[in-house]
């Protein structure tokens, strides 16, 4: 059952107690990576394990800071608000509602940097959890899933060129 999470700003991804950053170089331009991440919520189902292809923006375009989207992963609905929209450079969002009982705040940040013929992606997930919950362990375990998702995105982008 979805519940409201605490609203956080862009600083949360660098100040939250529980956070993980993974870095991958993807074989696509920063604009192509940004488009896959930010412009196509339904496309996440093709490369992020557990996501469906039912993601969509709830606010009318053009999309940017303040836009809301919903995505579905592992049987849960996530309502998100975009915090940063810098095409080809950075995209960040917070989760406003989710079916995550122990999580009280969650945000994700993607920083894109040209590297060789591809793009370096620094992906940070940050969360605040209920007291007593093993948030540090969960976020560390999430790091492997986040790395796998980025590698899948790279494979997906290479196949669609």
CB 31 within 8 A of CB 87: yes
Query: Which residues share a beta bridge with 56?
Result: 70
Over residues 135-140, the mean pLDDT reads 57
Q: Where are the domains of the chain?
A: 3-159
pLDDT for 75 beyond 90:
no
Residue 58 dihedral angles phi and psi, to the nearest 5°: -95, -20
| Angstrom distance (rounded) from CA 41 to CA 64 | 13
User: Does 3.10.20.30 match the CATH number of domain 3-159?
Assistant: no
Over residues 105-134, the mean pLDDT reads 90
Nearest one of 43, 46, 90, 32 to 69, comparing CA atoms: 43
Over residues 54-77, the mean pLDDT reads 96
Helix and strand numbers (H, E) in the chain are 3, 8
Query: What pLDDT is stored for residue 66 in this prediction?
Result: 98
Tell me if the pTM is above 0.85.
yes
Measured at the CA of 109, the angle between CA 106 and CA 110, to 5 degrees, comes to 150
pLDDT for 107 beyond 80:
yes
Residues sharing a CB contact under 8 Å with residue 26, sequence separation 6 or more, in sequence order? 33, 118, 119, 121, 150, 153, 154, 157
């Amino acid at each position: 059952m979805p519940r409201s999470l605490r609203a956080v700003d862009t600083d949360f991804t660098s100040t939250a107690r529980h956070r993980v950053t993974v870095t991958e170089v993807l074989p696509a331009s920063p604009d192509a990576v940004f488009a896959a991440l930010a412009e196509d919520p339904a496309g996440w189902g093709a490369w992020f394990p557990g996501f469906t292809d039912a993601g969509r923006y709830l606010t009318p375009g053009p999309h940017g800071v303040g836009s809301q989207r919903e995505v579905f992963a592992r049987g849960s609905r996530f309502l998100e608000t975009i915090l940063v929209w810098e095409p080809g450079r950075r995209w960040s969002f917070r989760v406003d509602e989710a079916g995550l009982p122990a999580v009280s705040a969650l945000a994700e940040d993607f920083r894109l940097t040209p590297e060789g013929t591809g793009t370096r992606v620094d992906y940070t997930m940050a969360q605040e959890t209920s007291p007593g919950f093993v948030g540090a362990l969960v976020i560390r375990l999430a790091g492997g899933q986040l790395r796998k998702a980025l590698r899948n995105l790279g494979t997906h982008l290479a196949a669609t060129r």
